[in-house]
Amino acid sequence: MRKTNEESLGDILARIVRREGFRQPLWEAEIREIWMRDMGDYIARNTQFLRLRGHVLEIGILSSGLRHELHFSRKKITSFLNEKLGQEVIQDVILRG
C-alpha cells in the first residue's frame, strides 16, 4: 500500500496562519466585526479605532462620557469579546481618547 500525505485545505491554512503570524490581524478583524455588530449603534459610531497589541485591545472612543462609562466595563467587554471569539484572545482593554 502506498502512504499519502493528504491534509485538508483547512488544516494547511490553519498551520500557515499559526506559523506565519497571521493570527493577530485575523483576530483584530473579527473583533472589529463583533464590536460594530454587537455593541450598539451609539458605541459603534463613537469608536475611532480598535487595535490588538499582543493580548491588549486598544479602543479609541470619541466621546469622553462614553469612554468614562466603558472604563468601568472593561472586564465585561473582555469577557464578552473572548466568548464571541471562542477563546481567550484579550486579557486587557485600554480606552483611548
Residue 86 predicted with pLDDT over 80: yes
Mean pLDDT of the chain: 91
Q: Amino acid letter at 63?
A: S
Q: What is the CATH number of domain 23-96?
A: 3.30.300.20
The model's pTM is: 0.79
C-alpha cell at position 8: 485538508
- Residue 85 in contact with residue 27, Cβ under 8 Å? yes
Between CA 57 and CA 87 the distance in angstroms is: 15
DSSP 20-38: HT-HHHHHHHHHHHHHHHH
Mean pLDDT of 91-96: 97
